[in-house]
Structure 1
């Protein structure tokens, strides 16, 4: 009899524990945590972690939800990213993904998780094809390459008043797409463009020779600093080429200064990543980032923080829209639908998506490397997503 009473007491305790246990909900991050662009990928991971940690108590107390982050490495490689995404999709506690860094990765990843109703909110993927496909699960809070390309072309043509530009891209989805938009914008303004793609990542001597022969007013590089953009400008300067050097947000990376050294002075780039310089409200977040992770925050740390907060707003909206009881998590389909319909005030401005997942309105920034190798934002351009 005593054994039976003890059993009932244990069962009662277990039942009480189950009633009080929070429901685990995970947000996955997917970004390069190893390889040449790991420093930016880490920013995406840590920015999301900070956002989740700040909202954890609120979700636990109000909704009975235990928020967690699952960090995943895509190595900036499509096949690795797809494999990681499929693994993420098998964890039913994951309701959304923040990522990726590379458009060439997010394109197949978003297709791979579409059937799982797994929403993605990207802080960094700018290629037009990312959202032009109209997937219901793909969203981004950064500006598109057609906006970034136009902004870069306008700066070169109207501010620098160039007549000839040598446009080079790295043959990636991101690099070629951005370079093509710049070419289009320049030619529309009567600027002569020489256009070339290259797989080279270290020895640019043959290309430098071509550029030297033409002596353009500017060189535009569509690609990443860490995999060519930094060494290209270094070798141009070593060869005596003094043309202005500009690129897109792929140059928004400390590897530019590390690899190029003094050759980085004067380099210009457009970026969709807001910085504390132009977003004073982000100062507190930057301080929290440094205190929490003992690292400097870069632009994509801030953008990932915003992207994660958009996901959290979507989860909360799904809970409210579906009148879920405390401790009941929404489904992935409910979250996917809710994210597409949110309107959230973030550090980088109001985030609201159009029917294909583009941010309706936002900003691009033009930055310049100073003589002390620090960055300075020298321009801000308001942009709107094109009609789907």
Structure 2
């Protein structure tokens, strides 16, 4: 063989090899998750990621059969907006990532999704409830849960149903906590419930400054808008200082770690309730297998929003499949995936059947009010559901 011919053959083989590598790369897809994987909210954030991981493991076969390799790319947003945005910039810079499942905190999701939006990257949220998540009208952003402008109303109406005449409202100054507290307060005042105070705090350890006006006013009910890691400490200290009324919070309170923090003080006095857009996984008819599989894989019961993490991933996988088929089994663009998510109709998840409206809200969402029954964290999933509602989102 001549030297020239040898060089030609070698070059041809190199080009062919490179072409094969490019083709293989073109069939590689990543789906990111963003949730708190460290810190005091990680007990929920880790299980959102685990739910998504289990869905990918169980539901990824159709894409595998089409020749795609789909990988999970988990990111720890630390329940911190700055971290979430920094992660979002890393996520959109990776062309293999076609969608994001996340976040847990609305205050993290809202700025992070501005980054997704400018890059055309789809985001399906398993947990974010602030109205602004969807009212911006971004094609890329959808959620599978309800909204705080409904959840706050549900909480206030429940407080009235308990017979409360007065309430002290506290929030954590986040987009989520302050937002839902404001919706609660507005509804409470409309219905004649006397609001003795409305205060925001970033305190996490010593609530003496807040407890003084609460104890002086002796409200029938104390409402906290925010996360369990703050609320449980506040409730515990209030009870220890002699408050005997009722505590009410929101879906941010829905974690077994609340009882690790506050224990029996959540049961004493008028007890503790919380509204939520999630509820225990067992409340949904389609989750029995999910719960068993989750426990087998991770050796623990799923925390709230784990099942929603599963469904969010399932929606993303189906949308990628649909977009790929529409494109002749080629790797779909981010725009095609975002459009395919919004176009899904009556998608059968384990926590419900999902169709998104024109701004990315589910056309009907579930809301629950739940009572804390036990100081034992292992029995958190056995808390009593005292109210269940199916409500459409407010019209835009």
TM-score range, shorter chain: over 0.9
Counterparts of 2:77 and 2:111 in 1: how far apart (Å)? 12
Q: How many residues end up aligned between the 2 structures?
A: 382
1:309-388 superposed matches below 5 A = 309-320=314-325, 323-326=326-329, 328-343=330-345, 344-373=347-376, 374=379, 375-388=383-396
44, 53, 60: which one aligns with 2:57: 53
For the 8 Å contact 1:317–1:342, the answer to whether it is kept is: no
Task: Write out per-residue CA displacement over residues 118-171 of structure 1, whole angstroms, 9 at most, x where no aligned residue.
Answer: 01110111111111111221111111001111111111112x011101111111
TM-score (norm 1): 0.93
1:70 alignment partner in structure 2: 73
Counterparts of 1:80 and 1:54 in 2: how far apart (Å)? 30
Runs of at least 5 residues in structure 2 that lack an aligned partner in the other structure:
none
For the 8 Å contact 2:167–2:223, the answer to whether it is kept is: yes
307, 312, 318: which one aligns with 1:307: 312
Matched, 1:205 2:188: no
TM-score (norm 2): 0.91
RMSD: 2.2
2:33 alignment partner in structure 1: 29
Counterparts of 2:303 and 2:287 in 1: how far apart (Å)? 11
154, 163, 167: which one aligns with 2:169: 167
For the 8 Å contact 2:266–2:375, the answer to whether it is kept is: no
267, 272, 275: which one aligns with 2:277: 272
SS of match in other structure, 1:258: helix
For the 8 Å contact 1:277–1:377, the answer to whether it is kept is: no
Task: Write out per-residue CA displacement over residues 292-341 of structure 1, whole angstroms, 9 at most, x where no aligned residue.
Answer: 12232112111111111111122122223xx3233x11100111111111
For the 8 Å contact 2:120–2:334, the answer to whether it is kept is: yes
Counterparts of 2:368 and 2:220 in 1: how far apart (Å)? 22
2:302 alignment partner in structure 1: 297
Runs of at least 5 residues in structure 1 that lack an aligned partner in the other structure:
none
247, 250, 254: which one aligns with 1:248: 250
Counterparts of 1:197 and 1:19 in 2: how far apart (Å)? 53
Higher mean alpha-carbon deviation, 244-253 vs 185-194, is at 185-194
Counterparts of 1:253 and 1:357 in 2: how far apart (Å)? 26
For the 8 Å contact 1:274–1:303, the answer to whether it is kept is: no
Shift of 1:87: 0.3
For the 8 Å contact 1:219–1:244, the answer to whether it is kept is: yes
1:132 alignment partner in structure 2: 135
- Name the CA shift for 1:59/1:201 in 2 (closer, same or farther; >3 Å): same
- Name the CA shift for 1:191/1:19 in 2 (closer, same or farther; >3 Å): closer
Shift of 1:12: 11
Shift of 1:49: 0.7
2:228 alignment partner in structure 1: 225
Counterparts of 1:246 and 1:42 in 2: how far apart (Å)? 25
- Name the CA shift for 1:8/1:83 in 2 (closer, same or farther; >3 Å): closer
Higher mean alpha-carbon deviation, 273-282 vs 17-26, is at 17-26
SS of match in other structure, 1:58: helix
1:7-156 superposed matches below 5 A = 14=17, 21=24, 23-61=27-65, 63-156=66-159
